Chains A and B, each alone.
Chain A
Amino acid sequence: MLFPLRQIFLMGAVNLLAMTIAEKILARAAGKDNVEPGEIVEAEVDYVMLNDVTGLPAFEVFEKFGVEPIKEKVVLIQDHYVPNKDVASAEQAKAMRLFARKYGIENYYEVGVSGICHQVMIEDGFAAPGRLIIGADSHTCSYGALGAFSTGVGSTEAASAMALGSLWFRVPETMKLVVDGEPGRYVMGKDIILHIIGDIGVDGALYKSMEFYGKAIEDMSLADRISMANMAIEAGGKAGIFPPDEKVFSYLEGRVKGSYTPVYADENAEYIETLEYNAADIPPTVAKPYLPSNVAPAAELGDVAIDQAYLGSCTNGRIEDLRIAAEIMRDRKVHENVRMIVVPASKKVYEQAIEEGLVKVFLEANAYVSGPTCGACLGGYMGVLAKGERCISSTNRNFVGRMGHKDSEVYLANPAVVAASALKGRITDPRELS
């Protein structure tokens, strides 16, 4: 029945069916042949992820429905304030634990196995090409690096989706971002996305899906693509999607849950805007307070002294990030005026960092290394800044008071810049060291 209809459309107006990746995934999940930007659809989600902060309000809402959750779609991850920072956060974590037990949720991540939620979603094979995933956390957009349509939602929405298995979506317009050229030494995905946000602004992609293409993107590691997709939200984007390739497929081997179908944009798909960049023009880049769009080359900020250097988070807490920082810090010491905090994004990253001897490098350099937690990234605990203090951070947000006191400052940068700055006690372009 559906097939002949599609044929008619094809004959009538080819453009009607040309869709971007976001449109195709939403159409499939809504059980439709075709969707258009601006349309509101009800779509079936593959997974609903919640963390300890957004979980509690969602569980309270969920109990009003008086049904069982659709268990296999629910993923619960303790990461923001665990190990518990205080009694209130202990209660929050307990609420998640009890919810998981009450309904027999299998995909529950307790302290000791968990990590930062987005890293776990990727590492444990929930994120995969073509999937529609929602998470009650704004950086859920990270899984676009693997070709999924994933986006952050609120707690009430997550509760509703746990009950119904579906949620309303406004089909976003799609922007095409083409990054060609060869990036220079110590230029990472982080620098490219900071550069793009600096260019288009923190609302430059508001309500939109961003699709990434070009040679620099094809050559880029999956880890760097994750950093970029992660920060789509910092441009206001609903999703940041990369067409899945061999790197994604081989990463997923032996790790992905279930099967998946890669989705690609049609050749004549319509983009609301196309922007082109050359990676060779982008230096190691830093976003100054108080917006991720407030960018400058690291080399121009050499006068900015720092009190803390933070390496971690869902943006840049992967093994690749720790490796590049360790390479810079090997046989060197953190500057006497700086505390450096290193937080691997997950248990698996932590284990691998120990195996590869990276943790030893950090410890020998006098950095503090902890198990995975969101902690300092959101000014929660374990690395909170005092009044007037300044931190160079591999995270994604530098808003007023993000990591502590309202008069503290956060500078966002890639892991190499964070490492080099920790050694020098001021913001440093890592090329200065070699």
Chain B
Amino acid sequence: MRGRVWKFGANVDTDQIIPAEYLVTGDARELAKHVFEKARPGFAEKVRKGDILVADENFGCGSSREHAPRALIGAGISCVVAKSFARIFFRNAINIGLPVVECDVSAEDGDELEIDFEKGVIRNLTTNKSYVFKPLPEFLLNLLNSGGLVEYTKKRLSIYE
């Protein structure tokens, strides 16, 4: 996977990702219109499909709103790379199929990143530096690869029948 970087700092909270006043729809594309509206005005217009978010510690802290990763998916974000994630955001992202990577990467706005999920390597093509990360535990990787929790649940339900 390759994409252009948007760089954020530490403790990017869910109110920044999608302000609470827009939590009146679950639709990813509707939500994407207001993504980072207060924290980084103009983001929603400039973001392109396949872009990657790079952030410092505790990305996605705050509320449990799944609207946050949904808004990012709606905006076309292909992956979030952060030093660490807030727990619920991390779960939500995997459950709805947004790849998340815990890794300390230095990158600036506009850098080009290449991510190899299987090998656990991120390359910053702009600075020509590489970073390794620990791939997700098998259970979660399967969850992500099988299309998230919805598909997983469907499978489980059909086993019960």
Check B24 against A156 for contact (C-beta < 8 Å). Answer: no
B113 proximal to A (CB < 8 A): no
**Given A155-B26, A156-B96, A380-B21, A399-B62 contact (CB < 8 Å):** yes
Query: What is the minimal beta-carbon distance from A77 to any residue of chain B, in angstroms?
Result: 14
**Given A156-B96, A379-B21, A406-B38, A206-B86 contact (CB < 8 Å):** yes
Check A379 against B11 for contact (C-beta < 8 Å). Answer: no
**Given A236-B58, A379-B19, A153-B64 contact (CB < 8 Å):** yes
Chain A residues contacting B140 (CB-CB under 8 Å) are 40
B49 proximal to A (CB < 8 A): no
A256 proximal to B (CB < 8 A): no
B149 proximal to A (CB < 8 A): yes
Check B150 against A400 for contact (C-beta < 8 Å). Answer: no
Check B91 against A153 for contact (C-beta < 8 Å). Answer: yes
Check A157 against B137 for contact (C-beta < 8 Å). Answer: no
**For chain B residues 37-52, which have a beta carbon within 8 Å of chain A?**
38-39
Check B153 against A236 for contact (C-beta < 8 Å). Answer: no
A56 proximal to B (CB < 8 A): yes
Check A156 against B156 for contact (C-beta < 8 Å). Answer: no
Q: How many of A's residues come within 8 Å of B, CB to CB? A: 51
**Given A40-B139, A89-B24, A152-B88 contact (CB < 8 Å):** yes
Chain A residues contacting B154 (CB-CB under 8 Å) are 64-65
Check A160 against B26 for contact (C-beta < 8 Å). Answer: no
Contact stretch, chosen from B65-73, B115-123, B124-132: B65-73
Check A86 against B96 for contact (C-beta < 8 Å). Answer: no
Bound complex: CA of A40 vs CA of B152, how far in Å?
15
1/0 per position for A134-156, CB-CB distance to B under 8 A? Answer: 01111010000000000011111
Task: Determine which of B65, B67, B153 lies in contact with A164 in the assembled complex, contact meaning CB atoms within 8 Å.
Answer: B153
Check B95 against A156 for contact (C-beta < 8 Å). Answer: yes
**For chain B residues 55-89, which have a beta carbon within 8 Å of chain A?**
57-58, 61-67, 69-70, 84, 86-88
**Given A137-B64, A168-B139, A399-B16, A57-B26 contact (CB < 8 Å):** yes
Chain A residues contacting B1 (CB-CB under 8 Å) are none
Bound complex: CA of A396 vs CA of B83, how far in Å?
25
Bound complex: CA of A91 vs CA of B87, how far in Å?
30
**Given A154-B66, A207-B87, A236-B61, A160-B24 contact (CB < 8 Å):** no
Check B149 against A160 for contact (C-beta < 8 Å). Answer: yes
B15 proximal to A (CB < 8 A): yes
Check B87 against A238 for contact (C-beta < 8 Å). Answer: yes
1/0 per position for A257-286, CB-CB distance to B under 8 A? Answer: 000000000000000000000000000000
Chain B residues contacting A60 (CB-CB under 8 Å) are 26
Task: Determine which of A40, A81, A91, A401 lies in contact with B38 in the assembled complex, contact meaning CB atoms within 8 Å.
Answer: A401
Check A67 against B157 for contact (C-beta < 8 Å). Answer: yes
Chain B residues contacting A75 (CB-CB under 8 Å) are none
Query: What is the minimal beta-carbon distance from A364 to any residue of chain B, in angstroms?
Result: 32
B148 proximal to A (CB < 8 A): yes
B108 proximal to A (CB < 8 A): no
Check B11 against A202 for contact (C-beta < 8 Å). Answer: yes
Check A202 against B61 for contact (C-beta < 8 Å). Answer: yes
Bound complex: CA of A97 vs CA of B143, how far in Å?
31
Residue of B95, B143, B156 contacting most chain A CB atoms (<10 Å): B95
Check B96 against A154 for contact (C-beta < 8 Å). Answer: yes
Query: What is the minimal beta-carbon distance from B17 to any residue of chain A, in angstroms?
Result: 11
Q: List the B residue with the shortest CB-CB distance to A38.
A: B137
**Given A154-B66, A379-B21, A236-B87 contact (CB < 8 Å):** yes
Check B20 against A380 for contact (C-beta < 8 Å). Answer: yes
Check A92 against B88 for contact (C-beta < 8 Å). Answer: no
Chain B residues contacting A238 (CB-CB under 8 Å) are 87
Residue of B20, B137, B148 contacting most chain A CB atoms (<10 Å): B20
Chain B residues contacting A194 (CB-CB under 8 Å) are none
Check A154 against B24 for contact (C-beta < 8 Å). Answer: no
Chain B residues contacting A401 (CB-CB under 8 Å) are 15-16, 19, 38
Chain B residues contacting A288 (CB-CB under 8 Å) are none
> Known contacts A86-B24, A159-B150, A164-B156; can you find 16 more A-B pairs with CB under 8 A?
A53-B65, A54-B65, A61-B150, A64-B150, A64-B154, A65-B153, A89-B24, A137-B64, A138-B88, A154-B64, A154-B69, A154-B95, A155-B26, A160-B150, A202-B11, A400-B39
Interface residues in chain A, defined as those with a beta carbon under 8 Å from any beta carbon in chain B: 40, 53-54, 56-57, 60-61, 64-67, 80-81, 86, 88-89, 91-92, 135-138, 140, 152-157, 159-160, 163-164, 168, 202-203, 206-207, 233, 236, 238, 291, 378-380, 397, 399-402, 406
